[in-house]
Structure 1
Amino acid sequence: MVRLDRIGKRYGRGPWVLRDVTLSVEPGEAVVVTGGNGSGKSTLLRIAAGLSKPTSGSVSRPRSVGWMPERFPPGVRLSARDYLRHLAAVRGVPVRWDLVEALGFVGDPDAPMATLSKGNTQKIALVQALMARDLLVLDEPWSGLDVAAAATLRAFLTSSEAAVLVTDHHGHDLPGARVLPLGASSGGVVIELARVGSLLPQVSALEGVLSAAAVGSGARVEVAAAHSDEVLASVLRLGCSVRSVRS
C-alpha cells in the first residue's frame, strides 16, 4: 500500500503546486489522477514514487516500486534487452519478456533505446515499470500506444495485484478504478479559504468567481485565472484567510 498524508509541495517561495492531498492505494486497487496542465498530477506521482520530497506531509510506500515518467529520458545507450535485464536485476525480479511481446514490441531489442520509435520506447518503459511487485506509478502510460497495446495495458492494470497510481487526460477507461481530480475543472484557479462563514455571499459575488462552496467554516472557490490576484486581495480585505491556491 502507498499512503500520502496531507501532502503539500511548493518550489522555494512559489505558489503551492499541491496542498493537503491525502490518498491511500491498497494492493490490487487502481487510482487515476486527473486534472488540467499545472494541476500537480505529475508532481503527485513523483512524490508517491519517491523521486521528489513533499514540502509538507508524509509518505509511506512499499519497497518494490515501478515508475514510468510521461517522457522517457532521451539518449539511453543501453539496448532494450540490457535495459530490462538491468532493472530486473536491481529489483530482484525476472524480466517480463511476455509483456514485451503482449504489448506488440516490433523493434530490435538489441538496438540502443535512443534509436527506437516513440511507441516502442513507450512499451519498453512500461515493461520496466510493470515488473515491480508492489506499487506501479505511471504518468500518462497510454501516450504513444496503439489500440492493441492500450487494451493490453488496461487488462494488465485491471488484474494487477499491485497498487496502481496513474495519470490520464485522454479518458481511457480503467474498470473499477477510483478517480482523484486535481485542480479546477473549469481550467481556472482553486482558492481554499478559511474564516469565511457568513461572508460566503460576498465572496461569491466578486468579479471572476466561477463558483464558491462552503467547506466547514471555510470555502472552496474557483476563479477565472485572469481575476485570481484581484479575488485574493478582495477576500483578504473581507477578513478571510487563504489556505491554498492551485492552478
Structure 2
Amino acid sequence: MTEVGKRYGRGPWVLRGVDLSVDRAELVVLLGVNGSGKSTLMRVLAGIVAPTAGAVTGRSTVGFVPERFPAGLKLSARDYLRHQAAIRGAADTGMELLERLGFAGNPDRPMAELSKGNTQRVALAQAFVAAPGLLVLDEPFAGLDEHSRAELCAMINSAVAEGASTVVTDHTGSRSRLASTRTVAVADGSVRPVDTESTGTGAVVLTCPSDLHAEVISLPGVLQSSQGPLVRLEVLGAELDSVLTAALALGCSVHEVSRSAA
C-alpha cells in the first residue's frame, strides 16, 4: 500500500498518504480509535473498496472479516460457507473450523436468525477457507466467548506460521496472545508505528459527558477506544499519566486504571 488516500464522493479525506507493507508470515496489529479511518483502511487493504489515490499491490488471495458482517442474509450458515468455498475453488467448506470456534445452534437455519456471536463465527470460518495468502480481520474477537477467542488466536498464529500476511484490529485485548511482529496506529487518516514493547500499554475506564467523548479519545497516546455507558481507552504506557491528567481536567471521572508490563 503506497501513498493511499480515500474519500467518499466530495467528502473529507478519510485516509491520506498511507504507506503500509505486510510481509509474508508477518502479523501486523492495527490500532485506532473510532472514526480514525481504521476500518476504511482494512477494506482498502482487502480490496473491498478502491483507494481514491495511491495503489495497493502484491495482494494475493484474501480472507476478510469486516467489522460488521452483513445482516439479514437468508442463506444458512452451511450454505453460505459452501458458497464461499465454491467461489474460491476449495473442497473444504470450513464447517470444521466453525465447530472449532464454538458455533452453537442449527447451521441450516438462515443466518439472519443467528446470534451476533454465531454470525461472527461464520464470518471467521469463511475467512480461513482455502488458506488465504492475506488475512484482513477487523475486530475478529467481537462477540466471542473466551474459549472461541483462544481458538481464534491459535488459528491466526497457525496461519501466520504457514506464511499468511495478516492484519488484525482488536479492542478486546485478545491480541496479547497473538504472535504479532509489528503494531501500527491509525490517527487522523495516517499510519504511524507504535512501540508497545518498550513502554507497554494501559487501560483507562472513564465516565465523561457525551459532548467530551471526541476530545477524550483524541488525546495524545490513546490507541483505541470503545464507548457505551463508560468510555474505555487503551493508552500507550508512556502517555498514561498525561491522559489521566487531561481526562480529569476535562471533568471526567476515572473508574479504573490498569497498566500492562512493558
- Answer whether contact 2:29 2:180 (CA < 8 A) is retained: no
User: Could you tell me which amino acid in structure 2 is paired with residue 136 of structure 1?
Assistant: L
- Return 5+ residue gaps in structure 1 as ranges: 191-223, 225-247
Q: Which residue matches 1:169?
A: 171
CA, structure 1 residues 53+189, in 2 after alignment: closer, same or farther (shift >3 Å)? farther
Mapped to 1, the partners of 2:107 and 2:136 lie a distance apart of: 24
User: Over aligned residues, Cα RMSD in angstroms?
Assistant: 2.0
2:95 pairs, out of 90, 94, 97, with 97
* 1:146 CA drift (Å): 0.5
* 1:50 CA drift (Å): 0.8
2:136 aligned with 1:143:
no
- Return 5+ residue gaps in structure 2 as ranges: 189-193, 195-215, 221-245, 247-262
Mapped to 1, the partners of 2:5 and 2:122 lie a distance apart of: 32
Q: Which residue matches 1:68?
A: 65
User: Could you tell me which amino acid in structure 2 is paired with residue 149 of structure 1?
Assistant: S
User: Could you tell me which amino acid in structure 1 is paired with residue 118 of structure 2?
Assistant: N
Q: Which has the larger radius of gyration?
A: 1
Q: Which residue matches 1:178?
A: 182
User: Could you tell me which amino acid in structure 2 is paired with residue 99 of structure 1?
Assistant: L
* 1:8 CA drift (Å): 1.1
Q: Which residue matches 1:83?
A: 80
- Answer whether contact 1:35 1:169 (CA < 8 A) is retained: no
* 1:188 CA drift (Å): 2.9
Aligned length: 188
Q: Which residue matches 1:7?
A: 4
Mapped to 2, the partners of 1:49 and 1:127 lie a distance apart of: 17
Report the 3-state secondary structure (helix = DSSP H, G, I; strand = E; otherwise coil) of the residue aligned with 1:122: helix
Q: Which residue matches 2:109?
A: 111
Q: Which residue matches 1:55?
A: 52
Mapped to 1, the partners of 2:181 and 2:58 lie a distance apart of: 19
Mapped to 1, the partners of 2:118 and 2:71 lie a distance apart of: 13
Which sits farther off after the overlay, 64-73 or 5-14? Answer: 5-14
* 1:165 CA drift (Å): 1.2
TM-score, normalised via structure 2 length: 0.67
